[in-house]
Structures are given as structure tokens and as C-alpha cells.
Amino acid sequence: MSKIPVILNVDTGIDDAFAIALAVSSEFIDLKLITTSFGNCPVKTSTTNTLRILELIGRGDIPVAVGAAGSIMSYLQTVVGSAAHGDDGLGNKAALLPYPEIIPSTMTAVEHMAKTIKESKNNVIIISTCALTNVAVLLLSHPEVAEKIDGIAFSGGSLFSGNVLPTVEANVFSDPEAAQVVLNSGIRVLMCSLEASTGAYFTFEDRQKIRQLETRPSYFLCEALKHHADHFENLLLREGSVLHDIVPVAWTIDPSTVETKPYYIEVDLDGRYTRGSTVADFPKQRRANAAVCMKVDREKLVDLVVEGLGKIG
């Protein structure tokens, strides 16, 4: 069985850390490269966090390339930091892990992505769990690689809700122009909307299942998850921490974990309070440019993560 070559674009981030672990654990994914971005924390921190997580799970061999420190239109807005992820991006628990010994690639994220795609025998899937800046710059600066990209699955966007503004989700808010470039690229896009990814929540019991694996990665990830749980329980007034970013990885491993509908999606680039909204053409007058994830199978996701973490460390 040939594995799917994957490039993962992250702003690690608690749910990004789970996304990395899930991707690494899968027998269907060949994780070729991780690129980093600003978002949950500055890009320097998200890079260190990514290296820490890779060392923790024993995959220091996967290259990590440093990416964008801000959005394409940084002078309009650059958002860095998130209460959900703590000051260090890992629930204020990063110091539980040693400073990483592995170092990032000498290439930039965009150059390393282009090289990886060109050299890959099979077409690549890009999974993005942060602002799409690195991906958009890749498509604009290396248009020749588009034909070798089988799909771009991203965590972000929303149909009816928001988590930074009433109708705006954080990853698209972080770089609306980049999201628009990706949606207009003609490449198959999966948008894992906020409404669906909020269904990827882990309860106290689920956390216990992870903890009971009794490995270093499961111990650390559970510690980080506690911070996340407190944040989400205050915000959503219900039990559970939401791991948005596992959704595009889960879809790549097993598409039956999500339900999708095709829509034409455009990003609002001008709104005063709605800039970064992903607006769906509900009357379906225009040809769809994305499969939008509408719902997740929570139980399947939890099983996938627990089973995956069981294979690590």
C-alpha cells in the first residue's frame, strides 16, 4: 500500500500538536515536511514547539521549515497569540519538555515545500492547521507545483459562526487574502469549518483514555489538554476541549470521519466587522470551489486519536 505524501502547515498550538501526532501515527500518511507559521504564538515559538513535539514522539527525522511571521497584508492586521493555547502555545506546559536538539531546515517553508512537492513521486496533500500564508505564497511563487498537489485540507473558516468575531474563524482571520488565494487556486480544497471542528471535542473521560496509555507523549499531551479544557469549558459552558486541527488529518486518514457538502466559498476581504468571513453561496449559483466539512463523527475521531497515540512513544 502506498502512503499519501503529506506536508503539514502548523502554528503549534495544542490542537496542532495532536494533529502532528495523529499524522505521524497513521500508516496511511507519509509526513514529508512540516512548515511553521505565526498564529497561536509567534512563528519562532511555534517552530520550537513543533520541534519539541517531534522529539517527544521520536520523529526528529521529519524536516521542519520556518514560515511566515505575519499575514500577506500584515499592515492591516497580524494576530499572534491565543488564550486557548497559553503564553507558550502549549498550555504553559512547554517547559515540561527539554529544549529541542533538532534544528529547523536551512530552507524557508515555501522553498522547502516547493522542493518536496517537485521531488515527490506521487502527488502531495497539504494539510494546514493555521493561517494559509505559507501555502498561498507557495502557489503564487511556484505555480508549477499546483499540478502535483492533490488537495489542500485546512482547519478553519466557518459558515454561520466565529471564534474571533461573530462570523470569523481564527485561521482565516489571521490571513484572509491567503485563504482567498487557496480557494481560488483550482486545487481541490477541504474547508474544515468551525461548526464541524467544534464537534471534535474531548471530554474528561477521553482525556483519561489518553492518559492511561502511560507514555511520555500521552502524559505531556494530557497536561497541555487540561489548559485547553479549562479555556473551552469557560467559553462554551460545556465539558470538553476542542481539537479543531485533528479534523483535516482525520479526513486524510479516513474520509468517513467527516461529512462534507460542496460550496462556492469567498472570503470577505473588506468588511469592517466581517473581514475574514468565509461566505458560502447557499443558493448554489456558482460552481463549488470547496468541500465544506459540515459535521464530524466525534466517537470515530476520539478512537482514531487514542489508537494513534497508542502507537507512539
Site for ligand BDR in 226-265 (CB under 6 A): 244-245
Sheet strand arrangement including 189-192:
64-65, 29-36, 4-10, 124-128, 149-155, 189-192, 290-296, 258-263
Tell me which of 4, 97, 112, 169 binds ligand BDR, using CB under 6 A.
169
DSSP structure class, residue 170: H
Of 36, 171, 215, 260, the one binding ligand BDR (CB under 6 A) is: 171
C-beta of 133: minimal distance to Ca ion in Å? 13
290-296 and 258-263 beta bridge pairing: antiparallel
Q: Are strands 29-36 and 64-65 parallel, antiparallel or unpaired?
A: parallel
Cis amide leading into 13 (omega within 30) = yes
Catalytic residues: 244
**Using the rule CB under 6 A, is 13 a contact of ligand BDR?**
yes
In our burial notation (b when 16+ CB lie closer than 10 A, e otherwise), range 209-233 reads: bbeebebebbebbbebbebbbebbe
Let me know how long the chain is: 313
Question: Residues 117-136 vs Ca ion: string with x where CB under 5 A?
Answer: ------------xx------
Nearer to Ca ion, 53 or 213 (CB): 53
Please tell me whether residue 175 binds ligand BDR under the rule CB under 6 A: no
In the complex, least distance from residue 161 CB atom to ligand BDR, rounded to whole angstroms: 10
> Given the rule CB under 6 A, which of 8-16, 96-104, 114-122, 302-310 is the region that contacts ligand BDR?
8-16
Bridge partners (DSSP) of residue 307 are none
Please tell me the count of residues contacting ligand BDR according to CB under 6 A: 16
Beta bridge partners of 225: none
- Is 40 a binding residue for ligand BDR by CB under 6 A? The answer is yes
Asked whether position 169 contacts Ca ion by CB under 5 A, the answer is no
CB nearer ligand BDR, residue 104 or residue 276? 276
Query: Does residue 13 bind Ca ion (CB under 5 A)?
Result: yes
Residue type for position 110:
V
Q: Which residues bind ligand BDR (CB under 6 A)?
A: 13, 15-16, 40, 82, 84, 129-130, 155, 163, 169-171, 194, 244-245
